[in-house]
Amino acid sequence: MNQLKKIKIPAFIIASLLLVVAIFRLDPGGQAQKKDHKVKQEENAKVVSKKGNNKAVIENAALPAFSITTDPDNLWSKEKGIYILGDHASSKYPYKGANYWQDWSIPVDVEYIEHSKAVYSVSAEMAIFGGETRTLPQRSFALFAKKKQGSKTFNFPLFPEKALDKYKSFVLRNGGQDFAKTHMLDGLVSTLVRDTTIDHQAYRPVVVYLNDEYWGIYDLREKIDDNFLAANHGVKKKDVDLLEANAIEKDGSNKDYLQLIDFIKKNHVMDADNYNQVKKQMDMDNFIDYVITELYIANTDWPSHNIRFWKAKGEFDKWRWILYDSDLSFDNYQENTVDRLFTYKGKGDDSLYISFLFRELMKNDQFRKEFRSRADYHLAETFQPERVIATITKLQKQIEPEMPNHLEKWGGEMAEWELNVSKLKEFAENRPHYLKKDLEKLFDTLQ
């Protein structure tokens, strides 16, 4: 008791505690803070919507640029402005009811600029794109070619590495969950798997000017839909079945996939004949490559989210998986993602999730041998540390000259950005060892 009497609480701590208590009594639910957040977002919209002439900046841009113009009311008015909260947003994150959550599109004029020259221009429609990253100050855009705006396709080779020169749509992405980190992570993952069997979106960093206002670095990406599959694989849109997550229909039907799952549930895939029946309906190389990639990158937003798979009549009549939205990856290189996938149970009918497929197929000796062989290959080649680090450095150098402008616009420091890029390289250096160890542990358990 004598010792306790000697303890003196500094006066500044007592004052701070009293202030907290006073604030809580005045505003126990934090409503003032929520209101202040909404006011600040609306004020920010007013500030950034001021039209300024940045054409001189375009001439010095280190990256290709999109200049997008529209009536300012289409962006900033409370009644129809797609960029702002508006009057009906919830006070709680992610502010559902906000204008930027509505299924609205606006007419825009688009110029594509390379080496300080406009090389392509078109009228189109634009919408806010993405999930909860819509709440970020730099929002993503989806652009659509519409006949009523003048052209039913974008007639320009957006990605030099592809032989495509016509697109129905494309995305200008804000980096997603990587917005405040490296702003290139999703593009990095797509670049790494370019020579695999995995379907993925092409990536190119660009800058955007919105009504002549500098809007920072964006990821130019293909938009995943039936048009994407038709353009990249030569299939007919009407023949495409595109599903996501637990067999939710995006395009076409999930009937054939449900029949496949039903067959697996009723028949032991450890039997060679049954496994071969499954192989007739799944592109097994694609499935294995896809799973190995997700396990390697340690995507924490998977397998609960971000799964799409498809097939079509004809040459591509087996289910194939598409890699996308990998922003929440390259973080914990020690994580046992193998166990996370193997033990994951989806909501509702668990058999409709990719974790069920993985567990069932792992019961088959041939599948395990194929999986082990392809895992060994990818860890030695595709995800070999020197190769991954070299790819990170290449993408880093592409956007590095533009990052000071981007950070001045949206906040952040170059030193912090460089540190985040270095963490990607640290992950690349260490990840193969841990993934290989965790795979071996699973294989030993299943022997």
User: Burial level of 160, CB count in 10 A (0-12/13-18/19+)?
Assistant: exposed
> What φ, ψ does residue 88 adopt, rounded to 5°?
-120, 15
Task: Give the pLDDT of residue 346.
Answer: 86
Tens digits of residue pLDDT in 264-318 = 999 999 999 999 999 999 999 999 999 999 999 999 999 999 999 999 999 999 9
Query: Is 7 strand, coil or helix?
Result: coil
Contacts of 180 (CB under 8 A, 6+ apart): 412
Looking at residue 144, what is its pLDDT? 98
- pLDDT category, 59, cuts 50, 70, 90? low
Q: How far is it, in rounded angstroms, from Cα 397 to Cα 324? A: 23
Residue 44 has pLDDT above 50, yes or no: no
The mean pLDDT value for 234-260 works out to 97
Rounded distance between C-alpha atoms, residue 381 and residue 375, angstroms = 10
**How confident is the model over 69-124, as pLDDT tens digits?**
999 999 999 999 999 999 999 999 999 999 999 999 999 999 999 998 999 999 99
Rounded distance between C-alpha atoms, residue 358 and residue 439, angstroms: 13
pLDDT for position 347 = 87
pTM of the model as a whole: 0.88
Residue 50 has pLDDT above 70, yes or no: no
pLDDT in tens, 23-32: 333 343 333 3
**Residue 26 corresponds to which amino acid?**
L
440 SS3 class: helix
